[in-house]
Amino acid sequence: MINSYYQLFIFILTFNSKLLNVQPSKFSECENLQPNSIKILEQTKELRVWFGSEVSLTCCMKENPKLNNNNNNYFEDDFEVVNGKSTEPLAWYDPQMNPIVNYFSDPHKAQSTGMFYIPDLLQKPKDIQVVHLVIKNFSIANNGLYKCDTMRNSHSPEMINLLGSPKIIIDADKYQFLEEGKTGYIDCRPRGHPRIDVVWFYEGEHLSPDNHKFSFLQNHQKLRISPVTEEFRGKYLCKAEVSFNERENAPPRGSFIEVQPIEVIVYQEPTISEDSPSIRVQKNENINDKAVYEDSVLEIECDSRGLPPPIITWYRDKLLINSKVDSRVKITESYYRRNAYSVLKIHPVQIQDIGVYTCNSSYSNHGFSKSVAKNITPEFVFQPRFLKTGTNLNANTLVGKNVILNCSVFGALSKRFSVAFVHEDYNYTTYEYSETSNKNTFKFQMTQDPSNSYISHYKLQILGIQPYDAGYYYCKATVKTETIFTFSHVGIVSVLYGAKIIPTKSTVYGLWYKKNILKCKSKGYPNPVWEWKFQDFPLPEQFKQYRIKTINKNDTSISELTILPNYLNDAIFGTYKCQAQNQFGSDSFTISFSQAWQPGAPYVTVCKVTASTIQLCVTPNTDSGGLPLTHYEMRIKDFNINKFFGPYYYPVNPSTIILSHLKSETRYKIALSAASEAGRGPNTDIEVTTKPIGRPIIELVNTSSAPDSKSFNLQWVVDSDGGLPIFRYDVQVQQVDVDPDSKKIIERIGNIKTYKVDDLSQFKQMFHVNSLKSNTWYELKFSARNIMGPSIMQEVVFRTLEESALARAERLRQNIGSSSCLNKPTLSVIVVPLLLFIFLHGR
């Protein structure tokens, strides 16, 4: 058992030398001792200790050599011979001179009493015996003389007097924090004792009661500072002195002095400015728009103040924002005196950046901390995203039922969203929408998601749905006036109702030698199954004479029956019946298929005749033969020649046919017929005689003065070119004097100005007469000429417009500027009277 405790304590001594507070350098005093001399390693014979503290004392003795040839361990005459040297063991004795227990002899008793000694087997030098006295919790009962001697008390013992005293200063924080502007207190915290004296020092200088900056309370045990300013920071020292005695009720024997260093730190609680945190608006953006858009930059700035300058940290939804974790985040800080400024920058902005941002301003020093926090919730705008879980645009329902379509969109607050349900170019975006009186009422409703303000739910309710409400629907979400928008997936609303055939032509005409197509169209959903009958008998499935094709789109279905050519007989003509049927109803329609014939003769009249042209006005016959007209066929012959020329083909539209390059004064016979796929119909015959060749015939239709008052516009029509092409137009203009009442010419003034226009490509029945005088009467004569001579002269008398004041000023400026030949005196003769005139009229 002893060996186990011995090994345990060797382990303790090896790794916890701090327990004994013994340094190997102290053993040098032992090495200088005489053999068998004892030494307590303390500087004084009277040691003052605090009650409750742990006391550790070291005693040593130099060994007395004794030869031993056997080199064995044995005991002789109460001396221990170890490795050939004679040693008497050392021991410690309490104030009653009772031996203190050896820890190795009885460790349980040593632990229970809290006072024991330990022989040092590891740290002691060679030929030196060392024992340590340990008192775990020193009390007043432990006061007195302690002796270090051998077991047999055969040597001169070494004595030390241990005097205990209560600790007069409770362990306090080395740092005390005082708030600036308020009253601060610094406590020395001495234990209650009638003979305690407290003295204060600041930065090494004694604080006397005459110092008005400080106040002393509770017998100088507390220092008061009011108000606290930054100048009071620094190092303070509290010195407490108390007298002591050896035992209770004994007269004082001396005094204990204890000092408590205190470092005072003056602080100002951190504050955040009233307008912080705030979002920094980016350049070239709307300064009133504080929203942050996707892929843009979010910058939040925070301005704080405190002493010392506080540290600003950023949080999003109570989680610390770390720029080292997210490369999109950048935090910049700056400090000036007591101010701290921080900017949080996130670029590019993403969806995970939504949240409540907190600017936390804090001060922390030696376990003391103060902090303040303010929140800001930026408004984000993202590209709208439709949520799959909340968007449903598909429906299958019966006629008359109510249908609800839903769209859930994420991306912005509801006030920025504009969401529309789109159906065949109609946008349903209002709360109450009624398109027309014969259609249903659509109700539009929006609700905000209670858990996420960036999600909005939209609902379109169709009341009493009808077949025309069926079709494709999708949602369009728009943010910020059409600049950011997106579309949802397309949904289909199907209205289930019985097939209903839309009536078309009940009679269809065709040809037995051509391919013919009969069509039936129905509305209904689901799309119907078609069946065709001929003369009330179903068409044979394997009969190659027919082909059936069905085209379905939404609730519309078209069935096409193709009747192939039959060169054997005309048995394909008769009554056909189409029938459409689905699980909600059926409908049928009868088509009479008849053979087409040639169209009837057209109605023809002569509209206009010249020497070389004939213009015919044609009206088709109401009897088209069942098929649309394809063209007109015309044949023509001169009565002098017994032969028709043609046929010449003309389109049905326009309804006029012009025959040109004909001979003058010649009688023509014209045969005109209408044609379709069924063939050409009968002719309509008409006889026309062209006019003789002559001079052109023209007519003025519009004359007016031009806006610039110095020109005149002339416009006409050619009634006839006389059978020959016009090669020139003649225009004559002469100034005249006109009676203001009768508007008749009194006198012709000056020469006649003649315009002969040979380039007819630029002369398109309009002529512009230039270089006329303003507010002047003129006579204009106009004629057209072919090789037969000029047409009858067309005459018109007109007056040009009056020149405006602005035009007169501009003309005067140009005349003065262009008169470079005038010398300076001449120019002054013109300008000076003009300025004088303006001055006089201005007054």
Nearest to 154 by CA among 74, 61, 57: 61
pLDDT per residue as tens digits for the range 203-261: 989 888 887 888 888 888 889 998 999 899 999 999 888 776 545 555 556 677 788 89
How is domain 385-490 classified at the CATH fold level? Immunoglobulin-like (2.60.40)
How is domain 175-267 classified at the CATH fold level? Immunoglobulin-like (2.60.40)
Q: What is the CATH number of domain 603-689?
A: 2.60.40.10
Q: What is the CATH number of domain 503-549+556-595?
A: 2.60.40.10
pLDDT per residue as tens digits for the range 408-465: 999 888 888 888 888 876 776 644 444 443 455 778 888 888 888 999 999 999 988 8
Beta strands in 377-515 (DSSP E): 380-381, 385-386, 395-398, 403-410, 417-423, 426-428, 432-434, 441-448, 455-462, 471-479, 484-487, 491-502, 507-510
d(CA 302, CA 722): 96
Q: What is the pLDDT of residue 66?
A: 58
| Strand partners for 176 | 264
Q: What is the pLDDT of residue 743?
A: 81
- Contact (Cβ atoms closer than 8 angstroms) between residue 459 and residue 515: no
Q: What is the pLDDT of residue 810?
A: 61
- Contact (Cβ atoms closer than 8 angstroms) between residue 646 and residue 636: yes
Q: What is the pLDDT of residue 353?
A: 93
Instruction: Out of 2.60.40.10, 3.90.550.10, 1.10.1030.10, 3.30.70.20, select the CATH number for domain 2-165.
Output: 2.60.40.10
| Strand partners for 38 | 61
Distances (CA, A) of 364 to 267, 269, 368: 10, 11, 5
Question: Domain extents for the chain?
Answer: 2-165, 175-267, 273-381, 385-490, 503-549+556-595, 603-689, 697-799, 816-842
- CATH class of domain segment(s) 697-799: mainly beta
SS (H, E, C) 561-600: EEECCCCCCCCCCEEEEEEEEECCEEEEEEEEEEECCCCC
Q: Do domains 2-165 and 385-490 have the same CATH topology?
A: yes
Distances (CA, A) of 769 to 297, 430, 733: 68, 62, 9
End-to-end CA distance of the chain: 137
Phi-psi group of 813: left, alpha or beta (phi > 0 → left; psi -120 to 50 → alpha; rest → beta): alpha
d(CA 835, CA 816): 14
Classify domain 273-381 by CATH architecture: Sandwich (2.60)
Q: What is the pLDDT of residue 256?
A: 75
Nearest to 766 by CA among 809, 838, 703: 703
Q: What is the pLDDT of residue 252?
A: 59
- Tell me if the pTM is above 0.85: no
Low-confidence ranges of the chain (pLDDT < 70): 1-26, 65-87, 123, 154-155, 171-172, 191-195, 244-254, 281-289, 425, 428-440, 481-482, 541-543, 568-570, 702-708, 759-764, 804-843
Q: What is the pLDDT of residue 23?
A: 54
